[in-house]
Amino acid sequence: MASDYDPPKGEIPVLYEDTDLLVVDKPAGLLSVPGKGEDLQDCLLSRLEKAFPTVRLVHRLDRDTSGVMVFGLTPHAQRHLGNQFETRKTKKTYLARLHGHLEPATGEVDLPLIVDWPNRPRQKVCRETGKPALTGWKVLKSDEGETRVRLFPHTGRSHQLRVHTLALGHPILGDTLYAPETADQYPRMMLHAEELRLNHPESGKGMKFRAPAPF
């Protein structure tokens, strides 16, 4: 990753802000947190810290995934939001463009995942030692070459959507790790965190944040 890390420039779009939480639209190509090495220090968290000194990480998106991310602005908010993710009280919706014609129009992938140690950071399906992972899908549009879908991760495993769609035989287009044969044909990985639903850490009120897909 270090040799080709060229993060996008420009301001980070803020979707919502109050005294407890901050919601932004992360651009594709930008790390959520710093990587190992001087050339991987530019990231979403470090950029936000300049404008929001108390910002605290709650969850992550892969470097090449864009979309909605929430941050805590107080220790309590960070803990409360983090607990919602851990206990699966948040609801996440992603938009993706997949290779090929996916059928049926709706379904679920229930395959346990674990890191593929010899090929890190790749993950893989492993029924013996993998951690439970469940993803729902709904086809929005399909033709001979690709399928546009909404994905609904019920768990939050690393690379879950990327590995589950690959297991279906329909990897995400432009994914350099799991569908490298398509990478040259697309400007980025075609995966976007479109919507996030959660409860406010202080009021408990249900909130919904959306960012339209740029593809």
**Cβ density class 28-43: b for 16+ within 10 Å, e for less:** bbbbbeebeeeebebb
Tell me, yes or no, if 62 is annotated catalytic.
yes
CA distances to 60, 73, 181, 202 from 30, rounded to whole Å, are 11, 21, 22, 30
Catalytic one of 62, 64, 143, 175: 62
CA distances to 4, 33, 45, 154, 161 from 54, rounded to whole Å, are 30, 15, 11, 29, 31
Residue 175 has φ and ψ, to the nearest 5°, of: -80, 110
> Active-site residues: which are they?
62
